[in-house]
Amino acid sequence: MEKLKYQIEIDASPEKVWDVLWNEKTYSQWTYYFSPDSNMVTDWEVGGKTYFTDSSRKNGMVSTIERIEEPKHLIFKHLGELHNGVEDVDSEKVKAWNGSLEAYYLEEDNGKTILKVEVDSNDEFKEMFDNGFKKGLEVIKDLSEN
């Protein structure tokens, strides 16, 4: 696994950027470049369940929140996949990447926010993450500043 890192400076408060990241209305706008119909369903509990799904909410990823301190950081641990509403956290395919982390850090700097993202990835997903985060971070910046 390789740790991929992305960063952007946003002329908005960490609270505003946090809201854009995780608000149901704006989440699907910046994650469009990963999947045009992305959804996130979470209980917002450390060790609880978080699902990153398609519009059917039956297919996607099963994750948990590893650490959260609003609006400073949110770290997800990916556990497995969701297929037709059934969780897979034990197959050999999933074992190749389960436990990987996806972390969001928001740092205030003179009235602006530095948003840093770190994600564990294997070669298979590197291009998708590079494309998704580079375009998605620009959407977050635009939504946060306007």
Structure confidence at residue 143 as a pLDDT band (50, 70, 90)? very high
Peptide bond preceding 71: is omega within 30 degrees of 0, i.e. cis? Answer: yes
Q: Residue 54 — φ and ψ, nearest 5°? A: -80, -175
Q: Which CATH number fits domain 2-145: 3.30.530.20, 3.40.50.620, 3.40.50.2300, 3.30.200.20?
A: 3.30.530.20
Contact (Cβ atoms closer than 8 angstroms) between residue 135 and residue 6: no
The structure tokens listed for 87 are 């969780």
Q: pLDDT digit string (tens) for 27-65?
A: 999 999 988 889 999 999 999 999 999 888 889 999 999
| Distinct helix (H) and strand (E) counts, the chain | 4, 8
57-95 tens-digit pLDDT: 889 999 999 999 999 999 999 999 999 999 999 999 898
User: Is the CB of residue 113 less than 8 Å from the CB of residue 10?
Assistant: yes
Write down the domain spans for the chain. 2-145
Mean pLDDT (whole number) for 5-9? 98
